[in-house]
Amino acid sequence: MCFAVDMKIFVIEDDEAIFSSLKERFGQWSLEVTGPRNFQDVMADFIEVEPHLVMIDIQLPAFDGFHWCREIRAVSKVPIVFLSSRDHPMDMVMAMNMGADDYVQKPFHFDVLLAKVQAILRRTYAYGEEKSDHLEWNGAMIDMKRCMIRKNGLDVELTKNEFFILVALVEATDQIISRDDLIRKLWDDERFVNDNTLTVNVTRLRQKLSEIGLGEAIVTKKGLGYMAVRSD
């Protein structure tokens, strides 16, 4: 995955071995890793670096990771990933409630961490400013901000999952997207679904699209997946 600019990751981690390893491994993927020079004043370095993503350990000198997460969230919407050996569910809940985007437990497999980081960066930056607020499909207008589709003066509101599936299929019109790929995309977007939930969402999506004459525009390719098609 490539971005228009090299991405900077700010790692708040006092274990020098882990920090060095992350710096080396992420560097191989054109991801620049920096860290605080002073754990008493992490925010000064954060503001100076202007990172695209932050990683925070919980147990740190002076102030813990939750403190720095709060401080960062007070001034920035930058993605935050916690890295911690602590496995208590409340730590994970606290991290998410404070605005963290993910919580990765140590020891971690680097390839898994890399995949998570790339998914977050892709969602946050890859096409953020280039995407239109609207998407045209089969004479209908998909409103990207309001999670709805409009045709012939009729508005159809969709749930977030239904809307995500519709956009994923429409953006690949006339191409088959496998069920596994759709589930993976939903998981990457932190929408937790399984195979049965996907089926229910696609069925409901079709029912709603039928209200504007597009119920047959999402087709099932047996054993392969789903496809959005262009109407004549």
Mean pLDDT throughout 41-54? Answer: 90
**Residue appearing with tokens 């996907």:** 198
For the chain, what is the mean pLDDT? 87
* Backbone φ, ψ for residue 194 (5° rounding): -120, -175
pLDDT tier, 80 (very low <50, low <70, confident <90, very high otherwise)? very high
pLDDT of residue 192: 63
CATH class held by domain 7-126: alpha beta
Residue 217 CB contacts under 8 Å (≥ 6 apart), including other chains: 137, 138, 209, 228, 229, 230, 231
Single pTM value for the model: 0.55
CA distance 56 to 106: 12
Q: Which residues pair with 23 in a beta bridge?
A: none
143-188 pLDDT, tens per residue?
Answer: 887 889 998 889 999 998 899 999 999 989 999 999 988 888 887 6
CA distance 158 to 165: 10
Q: What is the CATH number of domain 134-228?
A: 1.10.10.10
Q: How far is CA 65 from CA 23, 54, 58, 100, 214, in A?
A: 19, 11, 4, 11, 49
What is the domain partition of the chain in residue ranges?
Answer: 7-126, 134-228
pLDDT of residue 232: 58
pLDDT-wise least confident of 122-131, 161-170, 182-191, 198-207: 122-131
Instruction: Say yes or no to pLDDT of 1 above 50.
Output: no
Q: Which residues pair with 33 in a beta bridge?
A: 9
* Backbone φ, ψ for residue 148 (5° rounding): -145, 165
Domains 7-126 and 134-228 equal at CATH topology level? no
- First and final C-alpha spacing in the chain: 35
- Cβ contact 71:56 at 8 Å: no
pLDDT of residue 189: 58
